[in-house]
Amino acid sequence: MVMAAATHDFDLAGMRMSAGEGRRLKLEVPIEPLVLGAERYTVEAADGASSSVPVAVDVSRMTGGGYALRLRFAARLRGPCMRCLNEALPRVEVEAREVDRPGGGEELDSPYVNDETLDLAAWARDAFVLALPVKVLCREDCAGLCPVCAADLNVEGPDHHHEQAPDPRWAKLRELKLE
């Protein structure tokens, strides 16, 4: 096991692995903020202790050249809830795999490995985005905002309501004076 400071790129060739050999690395990687639906979200370690996220990377040297890679980590996404705009902090579990085998065709060519250098920051960010839930919520049962007055329905409760405005298509009939 190798411990390292926050890293963006990792030199795979520097590990000098022979075919069939594998290593598990414990690294930290900063993940850049995201913009989802015009709102800014930051990514932080699952324990909230730092902005760099601890990751586990398994590297295996393949026979005939190339690498099989596995990335695992958990992180939190901090930003506004997509329903009520209060702070949301969902925990996201990430597991991703990549294979890079030169000359093996497009499906065996990882976009994150270039000249035996792994772009760990880009891989972690992309894997994190793909693992995100469809909606970022403060809690699973978030009721959102009232469409009429924008009151937080999580606070107001299910009894919050408004009188309906009269249907404008019937306005002329309301002007009739019947005796």
Q: What is the pLDDT of residues 20-63, one digit of tens each?
A: 899 999 999 999 999 998 999 999 998 877 778 999 999 999 98
Query: What pLDDT is stored for residue 6 in this prediction?
Result: 64
Q: Is the residue at 10 inside a domain?
A: yes
pLDDT in tens, 75-99: 999 999 999 999 999 999 999 999 9
d(CA 59, CA 22): 5
What's the total number of domains in the chain? 1
Q: How far apart are CA 124 and CA 44, in angstroms?
A: 12
125 SS3 class: helix
Domain holding 131, by residue range, is 2-142
Q: Does some domain include residue 160? A: no
Is the four-CA dihedral 87, 72, 36, 52 of positive or negative sign? positive
Is 163 part of any domain? no
The band of 5, judged by pLDDT with boundaries at 50, 70 and 90, is low
- Residue 87: CA count within 13 A, CB half-sphere: 5
Q: Which alpha helices (H) appear in the chain, and where do they start and end? A: 120-131, 153-156, 171-174
HEC readout, 27-71? EEEECCCEEECCEEEEEEECCCCCCEEEEEEEEEECCCCCEEEEE
Q: Does a structural domain hold residue 48?
A: yes
- Is 103 part of a structural domain of the chain? yes
DSSP helix/strand/coil, 171: helix
Distances (CA, A) of 78 to 4, 81, 163: 25, 9, 36
The reply to whether 178 falls in a domain is no
33 in a structural domain: yes
Confirm whether 175 is domain-assigned.
Answer: no
